[in-house]
Amino acid sequence: MNAAVRRAELVRILRQRKKDTIDNLARELGVSRNTIKRDLLTLTVDEGYHIETFKGNGGGVVFHDTQKPFGSLVSQEHIDLLNELAQEKGGRKAKLLNEILDFLV
Protein backbone atom coordinates (compact mmCIF):
# COMPACT_ATOMS: atom_id res chain seq x y z
CA MET A 1 0.00 0.00 0.00
CA ASN A 2 1.55 3.32 -1.01
CA ALA A 3 1.47 6.44 1.16
CA ALA A 4 -1.45 8.13 -0.63
CA VAL A 5 -3.65 5.02 -0.41
CA ARG A 6 -2.68 4.50 3.24
CA ARG A 7 -3.53 8.10 4.12
CA ALA A 8 -6.89 7.85 2.36
CA GLU A 9 -7.61 4.69 4.37
CA LEU A 10 -6.49 6.45 7.55
CA VAL A 11 -8.92 9.30 6.87
CA ARG A 12 -11.72 6.80 6.15
CA ILE A 13 -11.05 4.97 9.42
CA LEU A 14 -10.83 8.14 11.49
CA ARG A 15 -13.88 9.70 9.84
CA GLN A 16 -15.86 6.61 10.80
CA ARG A 17 -14.51 6.16 14.35
CA LYS A 18 -13.82 9.81 15.29
CA LYS A 19 -11.01 8.71 17.63
CA ASP A 20 -8.54 5.89 18.03
CA THR A 21 -4.99 5.25 19.17
CA ILE A 22 -1.79 5.49 17.17
CA ASP A 23 -0.92 1.92 18.20
CA ASN A 24 -4.23 0.56 16.94
CA LEU A 25 -4.03 2.48 13.65
CA ALA A 26 -0.45 1.32 13.07
CA ARG A 27 -1.39 -2.29 13.76
CA GLU A 28 -4.47 -2.12 11.53
CA LEU A 29 -2.61 -0.54 8.62
CA GLY A 30 0.47 -2.71 9.08
CA VAL A 31 2.94 0.13 9.56
CA SER A 32 4.99 1.61 12.38
CA ARG A 33 3.84 4.20 14.91
CA ASN A 34 6.23 6.67 13.30
CA THR A 35 4.62 6.15 9.90
CA ILE A 36 1.20 6.90 11.38
CA LYS A 37 2.58 10.00 13.07
CA ARG A 38 4.07 11.22 9.78
CA ASP A 39 0.81 10.47 7.96
CA LEU A 40 -1.19 12.40 10.56
CA LEU A 41 1.18 15.35 10.23
CA THR A 42 0.85 15.30 6.43
CA LEU A 43 -2.94 15.04 6.62
CA THR A 44 -3.07 17.97 9.04
CA VAL A 45 -0.47 20.33 7.58
CA ASP A 46 -0.56 19.56 3.86
CA GLU A 47 -4.15 18.43 3.34
CA GLY A 48 -5.98 20.58 5.87
CA TYR A 49 -7.68 17.95 8.02
CA HIS A 50 -8.40 18.87 11.63
CA ILE A 51 -6.74 16.03 13.53
CA GLU A 52 -5.52 16.26 17.12
CA THR A 53 -3.07 13.90 18.74
CA PHE A 54 -2.54 13.36 22.44
CA LYS A 55 0.32 11.80 24.35
CA GLY A 56 -0.38 9.03 26.76
CA ASN A 57 -1.19 5.36 26.84
CA GLY A 58 -1.12 4.38 23.16
CA GLY A 59 -1.27 7.95 21.86
CA GLY A 60 -4.74 9.26 21.17
CA VAL A 61 -5.95 10.58 17.82
CA VAL A 62 -9.16 12.62 17.44
CA PHE A 63 -10.60 13.41 14.01
CA HIS A 64 -12.72 16.55 13.72
CA ASP A 65 -14.81 16.30 10.58
CA THR A 66 -15.27 20.06 10.31
CA GLN A 67 -13.38 20.57 7.09
CA LYS A 68 -13.84 18.89 3.76
CA PRO A 69 -10.59 19.53 1.88
CA PHE A 70 -12.04 18.65 -1.53
CA GLY A 71 -15.38 20.41 -1.13
CA SER A 72 -14.26 23.38 -3.19
CA LEU A 73 -13.46 21.10 -6.15
CA VAL A 74 -17.04 20.03 -6.81
CA SER A 75 -19.97 22.15 -7.86
CA GLN A 76 -23.54 21.79 -6.75
CA GLU A 77 -24.23 20.26 -10.17
CA HIS A 78 -21.67 17.52 -9.44
CA ILE A 79 -23.22 16.87 -6.04
CA ASP A 80 -26.72 16.69 -7.51
CA LEU A 81 -25.57 14.22 -10.17
CA LEU A 82 -23.89 11.96 -7.60
CA ASN A 83 -27.03 12.04 -5.44
CA GLU A 84 -29.17 11.21 -8.46
CA LEU A 85 -26.92 8.29 -9.43
CA ALA A 86 -26.96 6.98 -5.87
CA GLN A 87 -30.76 6.98 -5.86
CA GLU A 88 -30.91 5.19 -9.22
CA LYS A 89 -28.33 2.53 -8.40
CA GLY A 90 -29.32 1.40 -4.94
CA GLY A 91 -27.48 -1.28 -2.98
CA ARG A 92 -23.69 -1.35 -2.81
CA LYS A 93 -23.19 1.16 -5.62
CA ALA A 94 -25.40 3.67 -3.83
CA LYS A 95 -23.40 3.12 -0.65
CA LEU A 96 -20.15 3.77 -2.52
CA LEU A 97 -21.52 6.90 -4.17
CA ASN A 98 -22.70 8.18 -0.80
CA GLU A 99 -19.25 7.54 0.68
CA ILE A 100 -17.76 9.61 -2.13
CA LEU A 101 -20.23 12.40 -1.38
CA ASP A 102 -19.41 12.25 2.33
CA PHE A 103 -15.74 12.58 1.51
CA LEU A 104 -16.24 15.51 -0.87
CA VAL A 105 -18.81 17.67 0.88
Where residue 42 sits, what CATH number does that domain have? Answer: 1.10.10.10
* Co-location of 14 and 53 in the same domain: yes
Kind plus residue range of the DSSP H or E element containing 91: helix 91-104
- pTM of the shown model: 0.61
Tell me: do 59 and 76 sit in the same domain. Answer: no
43-99: pLDDT as tens digits: 988 888 888 888 877 669 999 876 565 666 677 888 888 889 988 888 898 888 888
Question: Using H for helix, E for strand and C for coil, what is the string for 52-85?
Answer: EEECCCCCEEEEECCCCCCHHHCCHHHHHHHHHH
Asked if residue 58 and residue 9 are part of one domain, the reply reads: yes
Segments forming the whole domain that contains residue 32: 3-64
